[in-house]
Structure 1
């Protein structure tokens, strides 16, 4: 008998606001929306209210018709009020996130949606690990944060550890979330692109020579850099977004040592 392949889960992204009490507000993030903006509107906050991204939780749930869903829950709190950890077991799926994807007009250009996890990777000497995007890929030739897309059914931290190993040959411990951001681009032709990026600290306790392990992938090179060297590199948009929070100082503790 031929084995039936497992059904690929539909993907959802939701945004949640910790209120300081037992309740957690939440809403679905639609294509093109910034999760932080969704949370501000959900909580009746000013559009300029500073937020802290507390955690990203991956959950596998089912729609009422039995369709499997892979949900990435981005949890925020108002700056200055963030608890150490996001609560577990209270983010039950809402009716909105269980609905099918929104219908699009027939003349809408094709869309590419992605949830990706990236690492700000350091070692005991304080060096920063970067990978280089291969030519022919978006951002080709720029230095990038190790990481990439989260596969269907894969936990966001598991995905990052896998990507770091594939792109640099390093075994890292994924630590706390630094920030979460969105990226929406409408090029003149081709796909309309929307991504939600999660940036985590990753600590490599026993670093070795950086080397690309994947074959014919999107990474052409990798290396360890002193912090002062990074400013002189041609960085990808993603790397600039993630590293800006570290340079500015985000009030978080250092990676585990």
Structure 2
């Protein structure tokens, strides 16, 4: 079975009357004639924020600014050549700031239009676009969702990883953190619980799995904190192989209603060496990863 994985960013641009900007797949795309939100793949080392601005300009001729983070989704699709593709999609709300509506030339889209609400439902839409816009659609083939996918083992090329992380707190306001094991990038620093999403896994499911593996806690997602990335072309993994590391990270606000003593439950030798609850005052004295510092700063 041939599999492929990609990460992408898209924007929702609405007019005062509720119309939404959509692009149509060209003959060069995997699904010609099917409509989608403007956006596309995140280049290696590129921040998702920059991706959506770049892709909007390429596909619509318009310049935009991000006004909010709407949602993060993941889906599986069978491509015309039989490849099973997993796409992690970051969806932003955007506002047009300039430019002239112009279709892309010689690209994967061939038409752009602002579609009235009543007309959206009658267009052929990519499933993720239909879901974001609240239009009914057929979910992925159940057999596809249940397929046993191989785990990629080749780590000699550039690595783009999509991860889900938890800014987790308990009813007393304590903050749950994990310590990165020695030998991994950031070894010894305290980090948000979470990690990479598996092929075929949604960010929410990955977060629940990682939270339990790294801390033995079960939590409830209450919101999105933000999206960030880290590009480290010089990073070396525990195998001693250069990773050309690019990690794209979505951070969720998580509540743990019934906290227990934090403990790592994943097998020895993983990337987490320790987990613990801390008061905000204690966190201020810890060596933290930049992701943890940024998430705490965003939420005050």
TM-score bracket, shorter-length normalisation: 0.7 to 0.9
2:87 is the counterpart of 1:71? yes
Contact 2:45 2:231 in 1 (8 A): yes
1:68 positional shift: 0.5
Decide whether aligned partners of structure 1 residues 188 and 15 sit closer, same or farther in structure 2, where only a CA change above 3 A counts.
closer
Partner of 2:133: 87
What is the CA–CA distance in structure 2 between the aligned matches of 1:188 and 1:53, rounded to whole Å? 29
Partner of 2:214: 167
Partner of 1:134: 181
What is the CA–CA distance in structure 2 between the aligned matches of 1:188 and 1:238, rounded to whole Å? 16
TM-score (norm 1): 0.77
Partner of 1:22: 20
Which stretches in structure 1 are left out of the alignment for 5+ residues?
Answer: 1-6, 80-84, 93-108, 248-257
Contact 2:216 2:263 in 1 (8 A): yes
Name the Cα RMSD after superposition.
2.4
Contact 1:161 1:171 in 2 (8 A): yes
Partner of 2:247: 195
Return the index of the structure with the highest Cα Rg: 2
Partner of 2:203: 156
1:174 positional shift: 2.1
Partner of 1:45: 63
SS state at 1:45 partner: strand
Q: Write out per-residue CA displacement over residues 113-172 of structure 1, whole angstroms, 9 at most, x where no aligned residue.
A: 100110100111111100111112111111000000001111111001100000100011
What is the CA–CA distance in structure 1 between the aligned matches of 2:50 and 2:260, rounded to whole Å? 40
Which stretches in structure 2 are left out of the alignment for 5+ residues?
Answer: 22-36, 96-130, 139-155, 237-241
Moved segments of 4+, more than 6 Å:
none
Q: Write out per-residue CA displacement over residues 15-43 of structure 1, whole angstroms, 9 at most, x where no aligned residue.
A: 11111233432222222222111212315
Match of 1:124 among 163, 171, 178: 171
What is the CA–CA distance in structure 2 between the aligned matches of 1:86 and 1:204, rounded to whole Å? 28
Count of residues paired in the alignment: 218
